[in-house]
Amino acid sequence: MKAGKLSQTIWRRAVQKQLHIDQKELFLFPSQEENCAAIRGKDGQVVFSASAAVYGNAPQVGTYAVIKAVNDLASRGGTPTGVSVQFLLPSRIEEAQLAESICETEKICAEMGILLAGIQAEVSPAQRQTTIQVFVSGSAAESELRRLTGIVPGQEIFLCGYVGLEGTLRILDECKEELKERFAPVFLRQAAAQKKQLIRLPQLSFPAGSVTAIQQIGSGGILGTLWEAAEAADVGLWLDMSAMCIRQETVEICEYYRLNPYQMTSAGSFLLITKDGELLQKKLEEMGIRAGKLGRTTAGSARVIRNGEEERFLDRPAPDELARWWEERLRI
């Protein structure tokens, strides 16, 4: 199979058809589009859980795993309470490298105000590089639950954050010395400084009714995430590609490695779907967060994307470009 997230066809055939789950206690049914679990708790509460697995050799790998898992949970309306982290390590790793990775993971948890509740680490002979798995739990009142199925035709779609930024930063973390041969030091410093642009959703609060649904941009990039959100809600889309904010650093690093940033993971960036775009934009501006309107949801199944004067239909999600980049490098 191809690197990255399973295709919808394989998911339905190899995963969905094998599931025989009692849905009565579930608020969010397992699906290709859903990155969070929500089950019925006591006294009208929803118990949430989410997870993320990120791999690489840089000590900052855990940062992205924590951001992804915590944001996925918070995007459904849950309040994260604690995270548990598991390190699967290659045998060649040095103790000092592990210690640095632990420090980076603890740092991001502290910045996000999330309790680091547990850590496990083991060396596996099957690992070629470090894999960090993060599990986050949380809760919320049932009234605060946000579902992708709540999206209806005629709502506005906003992008909060930047296309492909997470993937760009992870490549930079892994290949600083290699990129120094191609780019000026000031360019690389500017690129690395963009880590502060990764949005931490638990730090944001939205007025009641201002947001129908939130979806973090994950594997497959913004194009894949748009398709999955529309698929989950059974709506069409009309999108303006020129409204998708992208950093110049992302453009140049992706051009260097021949990657498509619009199909690259970008945890820390979000699609916000709302019935009142003016109210949402005002709230984001008050918080100092830049967001651009991408388009709207429509009735029917057509998912149209405009690029300049050209209009085309949005393709089904393609394999994530960062996963493809790793696949190619591991062959070397």
Which domain-ending residue is among 121, 144, 167?
A: 144
Q: How many domains does the chain have?
A: 2
Task: Indicate left, alpha or beta for 196 from its phi (over 0: left) and psi (-120 to 50: alpha).
Answer: alpha
**Shared domain check, 110 and 243:** no
In a domain, 29, yes or no: yes
Angle subtended by helix axes 165-174 and 61-75, to nearest 10: 160
Distance CA 315, CA 164 (A): 18
The pLDDT, as a whole number, for residue 208 is: 67
Residue that the structure tokens 């010395």 belong to: 177
Mean pLDDT across the stretch 265-277? Answer: 94
pLDDT of 37 over the 90 cut: no
Write the DSSP symbol of residue 128: S
Mean pLDDT across the stretch 122-145? Answer: 92
CB distance 220 to 320 below 8 Å: yes
**Shared domain check, 282 and 193:** yes
**Shared domain check, 252 and 270:** yes
**Shared domain check, 160 and 97:** no
DSSP annotation string for 200-260: -GGG----TTS-SEEEEE-TTHHHHHHHHHHHHHT-EEEEEGGGS---HHHHHHHHHHT--
281-295: b or e for each residue (b if 16 or more CB lie within 10 Å)?
A: bebbeeeeeebbbbb
Residue that the structure tokens 């992706």 belong to: 254
**Shared domain check, 74 and 206:** no
| Domain carrying residue 298 | 149-331
Distance CA 4, CA 322 (A): 8
CB distance 52 to 69 below 8 Å: yes
DSSP annotation string for 41-79: -STTEEEEEEEEEEEESSTTHHHHHHHHHHHHHHHTT-E
The pLDDT, as a whole number, for residue 324 is: 93
CB distance 272 to 158 below 8 Å: yes
Which domain-ending residue is among 85, 120, 144?
A: 144
Distance CA 283, CA 292 (A): 13
| Single pTM value for the model | 0.91
The pLDDT, as a whole number, for residue 22 is: 67
Which domain-ending residue is among 111, 144, 177?
A: 144
In a domain, 113, yes or no: yes
**Shared domain check, 198 and 52:** no
Q: What is the pLDDT of residues 293-321, one digit of tens each?
A: 999 999 999 999 999 889 999 998 899 99
In a domain, 304, yes or no: yes
In a domain, 19, yes or no: no
Mean pLDDT across the stretch 258-263? Answer: 97
Q: Which of 87-101, 206-220, 265-279, 294-308 is predicted with the least confidence, judged by mean pLDDT? A: 206-220
In a domain, 14, yes or no: no
**Shared domain check, 129 and 160:** no
pLDDT of 332 over the 60 cut: no
